[in-house]
Amino acid sequence: MVKGIVDDIDRALIAELQRDATRAYAALGKAVGLSAGAAHDRVRKLRERGVIRRTTVDVDPAALGRGVLAFVMVDSSAWMGGAAESFAAVPEIQEAHVIAGTAAVLVKVRTATTEQLQDVLRRLYAIEGVSGTQATIVLETFFERPVCA
């Protein structure tokens, strides 16, 4: 799907939606200088083009028993580009990225305890091609920034 270029109004709409995706189209339109109908039309087109991939809520992971956050560099003895399904099969992994550098894959993991993190690391070793891991546990998050602010 062709995403194309977004203009300043699209960027403003996206920023407003990232702040609060539950706002009515009238409020969104008012915030960016459009009518409710025009705001709705633009948002619909952004969804159709794949610029807006989904609408979700921002949840406190600790409130759901996932207070341990770690980023894990995964070393490999082979190209890991085809291993997406293997990483996706580990429910504690929130994100997985093929990267350039000394490691092959970077994963973002959330668990309740460090013991559960250790179990995730064991399961990562079971993925074909994985030869090592290096985990960095987050002690505090200063901020997480949306893509378009």
Number of domains the chain contains: 2
Q: Are residues 129 and 65 in the same domain?
A: yes
Q: Are residues 132 and 94 in the same domain?
A: yes
Which one-letter amino acid corresponds to residue 24?
A: A
Q: How sure is the predictor about 2, in pLDDT bands with cuts at 50, 70 and 90? A: low
Looking up residue 23, the CATH number of its domain turns out to be: 1.10.10
For residue 22, being part of any structural domain is answered with yes
Q: Are residues 70 and 117 in the same domain?
A: yes
Is residue 1 predicted with pLDDT exceeding 60?
Answer: no
CB 68 within 8 A of CB 112: yes
Q: Are residues 97 and 74 in the same domain?
A: yes
For residue 72, being part of any structural domain is answered with yes
Mean pLDDT score across all residues of the chain: 93
CB 67 within 8 A of CB 114: no
For residue 83, being part of any structural domain is answered with yes
For residue 144, being part of any structural domain is answered with no
Looking up residue 90, the CATH number of its domain turns out to be: 3.30.70.920
Q: Are residues 28 and 66 in the same domain?
A: no
For residue 146, being part of any structural domain is answered with no
Q: Are residues 35 and 66 in the same domain?
A: no
Is residue 98 predicted with pLDDT exceeding 60?
Answer: yes
pLDDT attached to residue 43: 96
For residue 149, being part of any structural domain is answered with no
The whole domain housing 12 covers 8-48
Is residue 33 predicted with pLDDT exceeding 60?
Answer: yes
Per the document, the length of the chain is 149
Q: Are residues 72 and 131 in the same domain?
A: yes
pTM of the model: 0.83
